[in-house]
């Protein structure tokens, strides 16, 4: 198992060992002790799963008072996953990292508290599971426009399918965050 720091070092790509043979495969997707040793020290309180079709973009979402850390993995298909640093005073504030996550590699992305998160589906269908460190609180949720020019995320889609809430999301500035 490898823990690979991204361009924002607190965001970690986890590359579990996949044990394959003629019967199929086995992968360990969470071990508190092993992940803690790799730099992912989290207490999870909820697991979530979504299923989406090609071109669906979910995000960018965060919570202000009760931020969620997320351990994201794809169990079917492929996504382009994005984490935006919203931590006040962080040297990487306003910057983002993006990773392609595919079911066949079993890679995961650890996104700590204080980040906005979103993804777009690149395969016909994708199922995404993620563990979170705080429950979802709709009153605390903040949405940020997926194509905010201040964030300059190079999404691999031009016209994604968005929920009405995501389509109406404000820019980072309009959501009350200082410009990067």
Q: In terms of residue numbers, what domain contains 82?
A: 42-167
Asked if residue 85 is part of any domain, the answer here is yes
DSSP E strands in the chain: the ranges are 2-5, 12-15, 18-21, 24-27, 46-53, 57-63, 70-76, 78-85, 96-102, 108-111, 115-121, 125-132, 141-143
The contacts of residue 173 (CB under 8 Å, 6+ apart) are: 150, 179
Q: Which pLDDT score is estimated for 166?
A: 98
Query: Does some domain include residue 129?
Result: yes
CA 68 to chain centre: 11
Query: Which residues, other chains included, contact 157 with Cβ-Cβ below 8 Å and sequence gap of 6+?
Result: 55, 57, 120
The angle subtended at Cα 36 by Cα 74 and Cα 65, nearest 5°, is 75
61 catalytic, yes or no?
A: yes
Is 65 part of any domain? yes
Cα 174 to the chain's mean position, in Å? 22
The answer to whether the CB of 24 falls within 8 A of the CB of 35 is no
For residue 15, what pLDDT is reported?
A: 98
> So what's the pLDDT on residue 70?
98
Q: What's the pLDDT score for residue 107?
A: 98
- Please report whether residue 9 resides in a domain: no
In a domain, 153, yes or no: yes
Global pTM reads 0.95
Pull the structure tokens for residue 13: 């790509």
Q: How far apart are CA 111 and CA 95, in angstroms?
A: 13
pLDDT in the model for residue 23: 96
Looking only at the bridges linking them, the beta strands covering 57-63 and 141-143 are antiparallel
Q: Which of 35, 107, 130, 177 is catalytic?
A: 130
Q: Is residue 31, in this structure, part of any structural domain at all?
A: no
Residue 173 is assigned to a structural domain of this protein: no
19 as an active site residue: the answer is no
Q: What is the pLDDT of residue 78?
A: 98
Mention every residue, 6+ apart, whose C-beta is less than 8 A from residue 5: 11, 12, 39
In a structure prediction context, what are the per-residue pLDDT tens digits for the chain, which is 180 residues long? 999 999 999 999 999 999 999 999 999 999 999 999 999 999 999 999 999 999 999 999 999 999 999 999 999 999 999 999 999 999 999 999 999 999 999 999 999 999 999 999 999 999 999 999 999 999 999 999 999 999 999 999 999 999 999 999 999 999 999 988
CATH code of the domain in which 74 resides? 2.60.120.10
Q: Using an 8 Å Cβ cutoff, are 58 and 119 in contact? A: yes
User: What's the total number of domains in the chain?
Assistant: 1
Q: What contacts 124, CB < 8 A, 6 or more positions away?
A: 53, 54, 77
What pLDDT, on a 0 to 100 scale, did the predictor assign at position 173? 95
Residue 47 lies in a domain: yes
61, 96, 107, 117: which is the annotated catalytic residue? Answer: 61
């Amino acid at each position: 198992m490898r823990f690979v720091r991204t361009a924002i070092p607190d965001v970690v790509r986890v590359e579990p060992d996949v044990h394959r043979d003629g019967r199929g495969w086995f992968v360990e997707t969470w071990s508190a002790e092993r992940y803690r040793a790799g730099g992912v020290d989290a207490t999870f309180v909820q697991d979530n799963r979504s299923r989406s079709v090609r071109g669906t973009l979910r995000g960018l979402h965060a919570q202000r008072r009760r931020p969620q850390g997320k351990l994201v993995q794809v169990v079917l298909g492929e996504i382009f996953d994005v984490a935006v640093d919203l931590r006040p005073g962080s040297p990487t504030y306003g910057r983002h990292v993006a990773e392609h996550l595919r079911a066949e590699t079993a890679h995961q992305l650890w996104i700590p508290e204080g980040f906005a998160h979103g993804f777009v589906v690149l395969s016909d269908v994708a199922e995404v599971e993620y563990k979170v460190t705080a429950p979802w609180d709709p009153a605390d949720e903040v949405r940020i426009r997926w194509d905010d020019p201040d964030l300059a995320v190079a999404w691999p889609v031009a016209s994604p399918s968005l929920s009405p809430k995501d389509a109406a999301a404000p820019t980072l500035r309009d959501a009350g965050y200082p410009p990067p």
